[in-house]
Structure 1
């Protein structure tokens, strides 16, 4: 893959000059419509690309096909890297946050599919209406309407909120992706579309490429019908999704929610796994495909990179000699229940005073969607809440909570995983949560405290499962994890590590593409 922590472009750049520089890092650009899109070919830096998948007639664990899939193209708003522009106009490229970019880029290291996406900034030659479209698409319809509905959050507006304009922007950006796909595919190409930002795209593409195989995968939860139908354009969105041949979800519950929503709108005849579309001679198949991680990358990281010496990690080690460490790793997001986890740790210290001075909470929070007011406000509230706990319980020798509010590169992240005695992963709702899996792959002795509302809880059954809506459950989960005998902790972690090794990200991606290519679909 493109191994990048931060690539700075140290001059003000036009879209064309950006494209030229990006090519230096193994990324080919696609013509843009004024928005900086990329078609990415990811090449593993540690391997000779010519050694990968040279014999397509011999099935293997990564591509169990009789022949190479023809021209599979990935489409996702996120790319493995994002462009950021600072106040002086300089650009830099940083790894993109979130499970979609993490999981899909790990899979594509070996699969080597084309990937169409957005670098996260608007080009400098955009017209003002086009810039407004991108803002209304990203910060309006996706972040402020769709994201809360799909994650059981609160849909919030303000005086300048324009739902109709945001919906039009959503349609416009989906059409932009359609145009890019048409430029790089032919009538026989297969396209795998990802996540909630592109739900209109399958039907758009079906109209223009009726013979293409079209897959769609939801990385986030799919809500129950009673939640979904609160969307004013719910039926149009469902019709967009039903342009796909195969729809994949993280867990069975999300697939069932989708099928029930199809039935609610009367859009097809539904059985257990297929939908017959009314008035069309088509079937749409629905399944669950739990995404995995690059298990080998995390499980062997210690021997490859050793214990990384970085200021924050060294400070953590020195501050907590002889203490147990609880670790959280999240994006800044109301769906992650960050405040509730601080409350749970505070309650643990109140109710079980023997842990004061003996346990520290280390919170990695990566800034995210700061253009959206409720995300910014969450960051401010979180810092105040942490400061309050540290004032009430800390002393000169012990700070109860340490907040690292920044992106953490891979080497440092793995070191934190290895140092932590407990990982406290407790979102309100999550499609999967790859951090839980990364922690277990990195730490063979660690205890995972995991929200029942995360998709990962369906498979990681040896974790200490908690209910985020019940504060006592959170406190009791931490108590169980901190007092668990070392032998039991290793046994539990070992069972889950075996599962993660069998169901890694390559098995996930290969399984989805294989199902998409099946003749009977």
Structure 2
């Protein structure tokens, strides 16, 4: 019995040594291939960061957009080459495509050409008519559920994702990083993994991910979630969205799932890392903009315009998830509770037009216009009840966009920012307001919906409200207007510290760092199996030996946890180090018995 145990121990020990040596060599080879050239990041989004325009001669030119992902990704160009893939924003004929592609490539962009009918079905249809509402907890009406129309939109969505994948493959080189953005392209990870099994794939969601109970109502739930599990890294704004995704994986798959990863190798995917990487803004751009002479002049004009009145500011895209009607009704409730404030404050609501061709948005626009109307039919509404000849209307409502300079001035003048999103992935308006309030003697107060992702980062620097509770929001408005300067400064200092530390550039750098680590970890886990032992030689030595010793380390009792060999990033090659005391015991045993031998690798 003792001889049998010794034989077993020695075999295990031999495997341990061989595996350690080979795995270290193999991973070193994998790492060195990254040093041969400067790696690229392929940024894949629905739209290119450029706008196509025809000049006076009828030629196509591209105007670079500012803000959004463009500014977020500007900081990573120092470390990576970057190519942006996306739809150029218009339908081009075959002759124009080559011209447009050449012009776009001059700006580091690679256009993905989609026919207008495909855009209507894929983007306006499935992406924004099915996925967007569902991800924001809007269930389809019973009489307008899954039908032939939405099934056709699904096929268009799938087709568009295939076209995007083909575009990626046309510019992809080994070891490039592919960063896919948002719910428009959730089938790309699987298509890409099937074509390039070793591809480094990251995906980031810019909206909420709904709870499993909501997500499971989607007929194509399995195809989408299994496709995402072919990415190396899945990024979300806040932990709630990550948790909802993992919960959906638990209920829809039989995969092994941990707190931050999913082992999807059994379905052709990989070991997927899930991370929380909240997006930010570039506050320096706003702080610098406030120093422009034209912005300072605009600030003075706004102070004169609203002299003697507190300004409550609402800036939202005209979207049915931004809670604009809830905001207006809460403000009306506030004026009913405190009529003396009707001539002391004004709500300036900027509603930036969005998706005007969608019927739901047209209905929302009519509803908002009714709430700010002053006719006899809506006398119970805000303007009809609280207007006067002396003070005018208490609500200034604008259906328009605004230049960055005018927006910064309005942010700076506002005493209160009122954000009542019913569901929001992050909401960067709150960040922009905090940035533009910095430096004021008495900073403004942020009222923030608890259903916005920003509430998890700026919650302690704001007044959090439930926008569905009109009375609660109305009280928050009163509390913000009456708040003392000391408490205002404390809230602002907390919020500004977060905004200035968690910038857009840091978001991009953090995501790419997480993607590098996830891909490196996957290389380590999926490295090739070491070669088999030379059994004939081993069995010959084994049969001739008289005494044998095999040591098994249970849960790292004898050998300590793997150490990092002066490597800074997680996932680099790791090596097992046997403690000197253990080696000394082995040497003494060898001297006494003369039969201890390590098999060569």
TM norm structure 2 = 0.70
Note closer, same or farther for the CA distance 1:82–1:370 as it changes in structure 2 (3 Å cut).
farther
- Describe the SS at the equivalent of 2:521: coil
- Number of aligned positions between the proteins: 447
Partner of 2:342: 356
Q: Using the TM superposition, give the Cα deviation of residue 118 of structure 1 relative to its aligned residue in structure 2, in angstroms.
A: 2.0
The question of whether the paired residues in 1 share the 8 Å contact of 2:418 and 2:448 is answered with yes
Q: Using the TM superposition, give the Cα deviation of residue 302 of structure 1 relative to its aligned residue in structure 2, in angstroms.
A: 0.9
- Residue of structure 1 aligned with 2:457, choices 456, 459, 475: 459
CA distance in 2, matches of 1:154, 1:422: 33
Q: Using the TM superposition, give the Cα deviation of residue 490 of structure 1 relative to its aligned residue in structure 2, in angstroms.
A: 1.8
- Describe the SS at the equivalent of 1:303: coil
CA distance in 2, matches of 1:371, 1:361: 28
Please say if 1:109 is aligned against 2:109: no
Partner of 2:133: 148
Partner of 2:578: none
Give runs of aligned pairs for residues 407-426 of structure 1, distance below 5 A: 407-426=401-420
Q: Using the TM superposition, give the Cα deviation of residue 91 of structure 1 relative to its aligned residue in structure 2, in angstroms.
A: 9.2
Note closer, same or farther for the CA distance 1:95–1:155 as it changes in structure 2 (3 Å cut).
farther
Partner of 2:90: 121
Larger Rg: 2
Please say if 1:323 is aligned against 2:343: no
Q: Write out per-residue CA displacement over residues 279-312 of structure 1, whole angstroms, 9 at most, x where no aligned residue.
A: 24730000100111112112332114552656xx
Please say if 1:193 is aligned against 2:158: no
The question of whether the paired residues in 2 share the 8 Å contact of 1:84 and 1:120 is answered with no
The question of whether the paired residues in 1 share the 8 Å contact of 2:302 and 2:410 is answered with no
Partner of 2:15: none
The question of whether the paired residues in 2 share the 8 Å contact of 1:74 and 1:114 is answered with yes
Please say if 1:265 is aligned against 2:213: no
Q: Using the TM superposition, give the Cα deviation of residue 267 of structure 1 relative to its aligned residue in structure 2, in angstroms.
A: 5.1
CA distance in 2, matches of 1:268, 1:457: 32
Q: Using the TM superposition, give the Cα deviation of residue 235 of structure 1 relative to its aligned residue in structure 2, in angstroms.
A: 0.5
- Describe the SS at the equivalent of 1:335: coil
CA distance in 2, matches of 1:161, 1:342: 38
Q: Using the TM superposition, give the Cα deviation of residue 424 of structure 1 relative to its aligned residue in structure 2, in angstroms.
A: 0.5
Q: Using the TM superposition, give the Cα deviation of residue 130 of structure 1 relative to its aligned residue in structure 2, in angstroms.
A: 3.7
Higher relative contact order (CA 8 A, sep 6+): 2
Note closer, same or farther for the CA distance 1:93–1:72 as it changes in structure 2 (3 Å cut).
closer
CA distance in 2, matches of 1:186, 1:81: 24
- Residue of structure 2 aligned with 1:182, choices 143, 155, 169: 169
- Describe the SS at the equivalent of 2:488: helix
Q: Using the TM superposition, give the Cα deviation of residue 398 of structure 1 relative to its aligned residue in structure 2, in angstroms.
A: 2.3
CA distance in 2, matches of 1:91, 1:489: 51
Q: Using the TM superposition, give the Cα deviation of residue 493 of structure 1 relative to its aligned residue in structure 2, in angstroms.
A: 0.6
CA distance in 1, matches of 2:235, 2:331: 36
Partner of 1:133: 118
- Residue of structure 2 aligned with 1:436, choices 423, 430, 438: 430
Q: Using the TM superposition, give the Cα deviation of residue 173 of structure 1 relative to its aligned residue in structure 2, in angstroms.
A: 1.1
Please say if 1:505 is aligned against 2:504: yes
Q: Write out per-residue CA displacement over residues 212-252 of structure 1, whole angstroms, 9 at most, x where no aligned residue.
A: 21000011000011100111101001011111100000001
Q: Using the TM superposition, give the Cα deviation of residue 275 of structure 1 relative to its aligned residue in structure 2, in angstroms.
A: 0.7
CA distance in 1, matches of 2:59, 2:415: 40
Supply the RMSD in Å over aligned alpha carbons: 2.8
Which is helix-richer, 1 or 2?
2
Partner of 2:278: 290
Please say if 1:398 is aligned against 2:392: yes
Note closer, same or farther for the CA distance 1:281–1:462 as it changes in structure 2 (3 Å cut).
closer
CA distance in 2, matches of 1:513, 1:267: 29
Q: Could you tell me which runs of 5 or more consecutive residues in structure 1 were left unpaired when the two chains were aligned.
A: 1-64
The question of whether the paired residues in 2 share the 8 Å contact of 1:269 and 1:278 is answered with no
Q: Using the TM superposition, give the Cα deviation of residue 109 of structure 1 relative to its aligned residue in structure 2, in angstroms.
A: 2.0
Note closer, same or farther for the CA distance 1:509–1:357 as it changes in structure 2 (3 Å cut).
same
Note closer, same or farther for the CA distance 1:362–1:335 as it changes in structure 2 (3 Å cut).
same
CA distance in 1, matches of 2:491, 2:305: 28
Please say if 1:242 is aligned against 2:207: no
* Range moving further from structure 2, 195-204 or 171-180: 171-180
The question of whether the paired residues in 2 share the 8 Å contact of 1:153 and 1:334 is answered with no
- Describe the SS at the equivalent of 2:347: strand
The question of whether the paired residues in 1 share the 8 Å contact of 2:461 and 2:494 is answered with yes
Partner of 1:376: 362
Note closer, same or farther for the CA distance 1:314–1:144 as it changes in structure 2 (3 Å cut).
farther
- Describe the SS at the equivalent of 1:258: helix
Note closer, same or farther for the CA distance 1:253–1:81 as it changes in structure 2 (3 Å cut).
same
Note closer, same or farther for the CA distance 1:305–1:249 as it changes in structure 2 (3 Å cut).
farther
TM norm structure 1 = 0.80
Partner of 2:241: 254
Q: Using the TM superposition, give the Cα deviation of residue 474 of structure 1 relative to its aligned residue in structure 2, in angstroms.
A: 1.0
Note closer, same or farther for the CA distance 1:432–1:90 as it changes in structure 2 (3 Å cut).
farther
CA distance in 2, matches of 1:259, 1:476: 37
Partner of 1:342: 328
CA distance in 2, matches of 1:333, 1:90: 35
* Range moving further from structure 2, 509-518 or 260-269: 260-269
Q: Could you tell me which runs of 5 or more consecutive residues in structure 2 were left unpaired when the two chains were aligned.
A: 1-33, 97-113, 375-381, 523-601
